[in-house]
Amino acid sequence: MKVVLFCGGQGMRIREHAGDIPKPMVPVGGLPILCHLMEYYAHFGHKDFVLCLGHGSDYIRDYFRQSSHLPTSDTQDEFTVGDLHIHCIDTGLTASVGERLHAIREVVDQETFLANYADGLSDVELPRVIEHHRKHAAIGTCLCVKPTQSFHLVSNQSGLATDIVPVSEIPQWMNGGFFVFEPEIFDFLRPGEDLAAQPFQRLIAAQRLACYNYTGFWGCMDTYKEKKVLDDMHASGIRPWEVWTSTESDLGYDARNRIIKTAMGRLT
């Protein structure tokens, strides 16, 4: 399957620390988070990538141009890096995710494809997500995770608080940014719309949006604080998202997961 990676956003909440580096190119353990994601998908056999570029497009192209040993087009928009095929497409400086997807319709509208916001990592078993997608005859499937942010939700009535709950403890799930789509997604997407707004509401109304609830590891890099957590985990050798490696910790499953929860607990 093709893998669409949305790489064109401004990344405003992390730019104070990242400067002009596009968010997908901000390193985790010295390697751009985008490369960690590519390794993740390649591990499951998906090695054909479509990069939707916007902010920092030249930076991303230059990175893969320097890594590529066999450019596959005269325009330098397609690269072969190892056994990965990378197709870079400009989709606009200020476009939403939905607009970026709409811009590459002709590239991916022939078969089931995968997509990702390109700012988060997980160890979810991708074949199970795809199986879930097919089992429910879905047009779109979204990985759903529990919130990891540190804020609290406050219920109030007549100006007085009635309850205060950490967002991590609410029963709702949040969009984790890992998707499976059928080509029919474009029938639900209108020009100028974002992806998770009107199009997803239409899918819900048609009962064609599936959710894969996952309580394992998921970490986002939307802010510098979140990047620091991922860097610290990488430095400690606890890297659950590196499903392509066989170097599991000798601590054992329970101890390993306590360390992961401790690291992620800094966000709560």
The domains located in the chain, with CATH, are: 2-267 (3.90.550.10)
Contact 55, 95 (CB under 8 A): no
Q: Which helix H or strand E contains 40, and what residues bound it?
A: helix 33-43
Residue 257 has pLDDT above 90, yes or no: no
- What mean pLDDT is predicted for residues 43-50? 96
- Statement: residue 69 has pLDDT above 90: no
- pLDDT at position 5, please? 98
Strands (E), 1-116: 2-6, 27-28, 31-32, 48-53, 78-81, 84-90, 113-116
Beta carbons within 8 Å of 51's beta carbon, 6+ residues apart: 5, 7, 60, 86, 87, 88, 89
CB 1 within 8 A of CB 12: no
Q: What is the pLDDT of residue 203?
A: 97
Provide the residue type at 237 as one letter.
G
The pLDDT score that the predictor gives to residue 258 is 36
Report residue 223's pLDDT band, with 50, 70 and 90 as the boundaries. confident
- Sequence-separated (6 or more) residues with CB below 8 Å from residue 15: 23
Return the minimum-mean-pLDDT range out of 33-47, 113-127, 130-144, 251-265: 251-265
User: Tokens at residue 96, please?
Assistant: 């939403």
d(C-alpha 233, C-alpha 224), whole Å: 14
Q: Which of 263, 246, 180, 260 is nearest to 217 (CA)?
A: 260
Angle among Cα 89, 95, 88 to the nearest 5 degrees reads: 10
- In contact, 71 and 85? CB cutoff 8 Å: no
**Cα(126)–Cα(143) distance, integer angstroms:** 10
The string of pLDDT tens digits covering residues 100-112 is 999 999 999 899 9
d(CA 31, CA 211): 30
pLDDT band, very low/low/confident/very high, at 75 (cuts 50, 70, 90): low
Mean pLDDT (whole number) for 136-164? 85
Q: Could you tell me the pLDDT band of residue 149, with boundaries at 50, 70 and 90?
A: low
